[in-house]
Amino acid sequence: MKTNHCKKCGKEIVADKKICENCRKKRNEKWNKVGTSVITIAGTALLGVVTKNKIK
């Protein structure tokens, strides 16, 4: 069985993967946090616009 090394941490992994499961999970968690933040900011801005239009 051929092995490869993770590009981020250097851990030995199977040949058809580029990064290990731990690095993949960390990356996904980071991007989920960023996505949640963007959605929250967009929702707050939209709510502000709707509220401003109702006040007029």
Q: What is the pLDDT of residue 56?
A: 64
For 48, the 3-state DSSP assignment is: helix
Q: How far is CA 4 from CA 20, 34, 35, 51, in A?
A: 10, 30, 31, 55
Residue 23, phi then psi, degrees to nearest 5: -65, -35
pTM: 0.58
Q: What is the pLDDT of residue 43?
A: 92
Element (H, E) at 13: strand 12-14
In order along the chain (56 residues), what is the average pLDDT of each group of 10 residues? Answer: 85 87 91 90 91 78
2: its two tokens:
């051929």
